Amino acid sequence: MATSPRTTKFKLPTLAAKSAARMGHPHASSSRVSAPVTEPGRFGVYGGRYVPETLMAALEELEREYNKAKLDRKFQARLEELLRTYAGRPTPLFFARRLTQKLGGAKIYLKREDLLHTGAHKINNCLGQGLLVERMGKHRVIAETGAGQHGVATATVCALLGFECVVYMGTEDMRRQELNVFRMRLLGADVRGVDSGSRTLKDAINEAMRDWVTNVRATHYLLGSVLGAHPYPTMVRDFHRVIGREARAQILKAEGKLPAAIIACVGGGSNAIGIFYDFLNDKKVRLIGVEAGGRGDALGDHAARFRGGSPGVLQGTYSYVLQDSGGQIALTHSVSAGLDYPSIGPEHAALRDSGRAEYVPASDAEALEATTLLARTEGIIPALESAHAVAEVLKRAPKMKKSEIVIVNISGRGDKDIGIMRENLKIDR
């Protein structure tokens, strides 16, 4: 019989780290906030590369190509040009005068990612990965989508660059976001419904991974958030860093000082990490991520991973996961398809444990209320995802000083959600 093994240095997260994380204690391994990556693909203990062997070579190839592209001036110049002339960057930083007056506290600025081509920040990452696909000489692109924004952005970039495009989408999400389904098809994408599990984003990712495992040699998986196996969380974050880089310069120009807080919604967390990243070293800027509080606190009624979740591995990465006692992944709920996911980007898990960023939930009802308020005070209808961030500013701004500034990332516009808003808000007759 074997002897009991001693506990030494852990490659996989230790039980101690796990329970510390669960209890909300920052743990030692991610104390350096400005450089949270401890090794490529690791954010503190989180991240990594947990995929079937068949995909490992493709991930290694992608990492190599991405590292080369990062240093390639031509690649960067082409991406910059497409972001400017095609996507519509830079996006404005807009002072929300009436909302500020109404709340009576901090000055509120909105980072208008909703004004980008295709209606959300997702296009930043799709253009970046699209150019990588070209470099790698692949011609077929697959993607998952929840709300449909990433699917639309992927279909758009595939049309622009001439790739075959397949988008996997849960049938529940297809029902919720039928306009985006049509939009993708109009752009030439093959939208395939996924009828397993909760029929939402998680299940679409499973199906995309199965496609990738099967067709890996000629196909690129254009993952839409800071999720999945390394290098995705790092690469997707880098493609969205432009949001924070612009916002930082814009607020310094407009106000001559940094904001007291930045608020963004967090599904996988790509828009949030994008706007947070260039502020990480500005220790006085509070970084606040807003998760989907759904319709209640019970497992299955929300997607607030930092409330009800614990560290685990889902779809390639080690992060906080909503799961049961046997390690099965829980079902989730949110009025917003883009936030309806049981795990969160691993870098957010590290930022949360280190205390550099804080994460709070906003409920379905709060998000819907925030939607109406922003529509009526500023004439901006946010995506339901972004409305979660707006809901948090409604709670927080009144308690802040008038001299303080808060930036809210309006990651997408609400056109795609009009049907759900109409169903839930009951304001027309």
Partner 1 sequence: MPLTFYKKPALVVYVTCGDPNLATTREIVLAAIAAGADVIELGVPFSDPVADGPVIQRASERALKHSTSLGQVLTLAAEIRQHAQSTGLIVFSYLNPVLRMGMDRFCKVARAAGVDGALITDLPVEEAAEYLRVMRAYDLSPIFLAAPTSPDDRLQRIADASRGFIYAISRTGVTGQRQQLAGDARKLVRRLRRFTKLPIALGFGISTAEQFTEMGAFADAVVVGSAIVETVERNSGREAIAVREFVEELLAVTPQLAATSN
Give the residue numbers marked as catalytic.
122, 144, 411
- Residue 314, interface with partner 1 (CB under 8 A)? yes
Binding mask 348-387 for partner 1 (x = CB under 8 A): ----------------------------------------
Q: Which of 306, 241, 289 has its CA nearest to residue 385?
A: 289
Tokens 């996006």 sit at which residue? 91
Please select the residue that binds partner 1; options are 140, 192, 210, 295, rule is CB under 8 A.
210
- Residue 58, interface with partner 1 (CB under 8 A)? yes
Instruction: Return the number of the residue (195 or 423) whose C-beta is nearest partner 1.
Output: 195
- Residue 206, interface with partner 1 (CB under 8 A)? yes
Identify which range of 148-156, 199-207, 242-250, 398-406 contacts partner 1 by CB under 8 A: 199-207
> What are the residue ranges of helices labelled H in 118-200?
122-136, 149-161, 171-176, 178-186
How far is it, in rounded angstroms, from Cα 248 to Cα 72?
25
Please select the residue that binds partner 1; options are 24, 25, 32, 57, rule is CB under 8 A.
57
Binding mask 78-107 for partner 1 (x = CB under 8 A): ------------------------------
Instruction: Return the number of the residue (345 or 382) whose C-beta is nearest partner 1.
Output: 345
- Residue 2, interface with partner 1 (CB under 8 A)? yes
CB 357, CB 351: distance < 8 Å: yes
Q: Which residues pair with 429 in a beta bridge?
A: none
- Residue 315, interface with partner 1 (CB under 8 A)? yes
CB 96, CB 111: distance < 8 Å: no
Q: Which residues contact 289 (CB under 8 A, 6 or more apart)?
A: 264, 265, 266, 269, 272, 276, 348, 352, 357, 358, 359, 360
What residues from 216 to 245 belong to the interface with partner 1 (CB under 8 A)?
A: 216-217
Q: Give the other-Cβ count within 10 Å of 250's Cβ.
A: 18
Q: Give one DSSP letter per residue of 341-406, joined into a string.
A: -SB--HHHHHHHHHTSEEEEEEEHHHHHHHHHHHHHHHS--B-HHHHHHHHHHHHHGGGS-TT-EE
Helix (H, G, I), strand (E, B) or coil at 106: coil
Please select the residue that binds partner 1; options are 29, 30, 36, 49, rule is CB under 8 A.
49
Binding mask 258-297 for partner 1 (x = CB under 8 A): ----------------------------------------
Q: What is the amino acid identity at position 373?
A: L
- Residue 196, interface with partner 1 (CB under 8 A)? yes
- Residue 4, interface with partner 1 (CB under 8 A)? yes
Helix (H, G, I), strand (E, B) or coil at 323: strand
- Residue 5, interface with partner 1 (CB under 8 A)? yes
The residues of the shown chain that bind partner 1, judged by CB under 8 A, are: 1-5, 8, 10-12, 15, 48-58, 196-197, 202-203, 206, 209-210, 213-217, 311-316, 321, 323, 325-329
